[in-house]
Amino acid sequence: MNSAFYRIFCMFLEYKQADRTGKLVDMPAADTSQTCSVYGVTNPANCVSQAHFACKSCGEIENADINAAKTS
Ligand SMILES: [Zn+2]
């Protein structure tokens, strides 16, 4: 996934979350939530919201809870 698309994708996720809750929520950034379940790479730049995980390293897109379950 190229970086421009990735940034737009992240903005889309944030927009959807804002749309659902009425405000943007800072998610607690536990290490597991930013660790990719494919390669086990923890990247603080990974796009993580309550419902979605997107890996900046390999482009994996996953439900955040499922990704966290795979990495724990
Ligand atoms: Zn990855």
Tens of pLDDT, residue by residue over 18-71, are 566 655 555 554 556 788 888 888 888 887 877 788 888 898 888 888 888 898
For residue 4, count CB atoms less than 10 angstroms from its CB and return exposed for 0-12, middle for 13-18, buried for 19 or more.
Answer: exposed
Q: What is the pLDDT averaged over residues 2-24?
A: 66
Q: Do the Cβ atoms of 34 and 42 come closer than 8 Å?
A: yes
Which residues lie closer than 8 Å to 42 by C-beta, 6 or more apart? 31, 34, 35, 36
What residues are neighbours of ligand 1 (ion), with CB under 5 Å? 36, 38-39, 55, 57-58, 60
Kindly report the pTM of this predicted structure: 0.53
Q: What's the 24 CA to ligand 1 centre distance in angstroms?
A: 25
d(CA 41, CA 60): 11
Q: Considering just the CA atoms, what is the radius of gyration of the chain in Å?
A: 12
